[in-house]
């Protein structure tokens, strides 16, 4: 297992999981960033406090929940590359812009 967890009680389980922030959790090939953010399932991305995303979905903002969607998300302070979507950082607790590129895993 090669998950990355940063923060108080953050949990990254299985391969390529990344959890950043206190009490955040991510499973295989998912990214969670924010206090209590949760990303479960392949290509799930949850950004912001209490955000929850499931397989192939993106949740951005406070207490935002979303179901299965196929999306690609790029967060960057510079102009995004083509076929990308730029999204502002939703929370002051996330003090840096994150660059997250999720592609569908086959």
For 68-105, how does the pLDDT look when each residue is reduced to its tens digit (9 = 90+)? 544 444 443 444 444 444 454 444 333 333 444 344 33
Cα distance between residue 8 and residue 14, in whole Å: 19
- Could you tell me the CA-to-CA distances from 23 to 8, 50, 103 in Å, in that order? 6, 10, 25
8 Å CB contact between 36 and 22: yes
Q: Which of 8-12, 34-38, 62-66, 93-97 has the lowest mean pLDDT?
A: 93-97
For 10-27, how does the pLDDT look when each residue is reduced to its tens digit (9 = 90+)? 999 988 899 998 899 999
- The domain segmentation of the chain, as residue ranges, is 1-106
Cα distance between residue 78 and residue 57, in whole Å: 24
């Amino acid at each position: 297992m090669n998950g990355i967890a940063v923060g108080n009680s953050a949990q990254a389980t299985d391969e390529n999981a990344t959890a950043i922030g206190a009490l955040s959790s991510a499973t295989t090939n998912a990214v969670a960033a924010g206090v209590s953010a949760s990303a479960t399932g392949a290509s799930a991305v949850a950004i912001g406090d209490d955000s929850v995303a499931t397989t192939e979905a993106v949740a951005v903002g406070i207490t935002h929940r979303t179901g299965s969607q196929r999306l690609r998300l790029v967060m960057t302070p510079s102009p995004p590359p083509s076929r990308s979507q730029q999204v502002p950082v939703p929370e002051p607790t996330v003090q840096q812009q994150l660059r997250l590129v999720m592609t569908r895993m086959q």
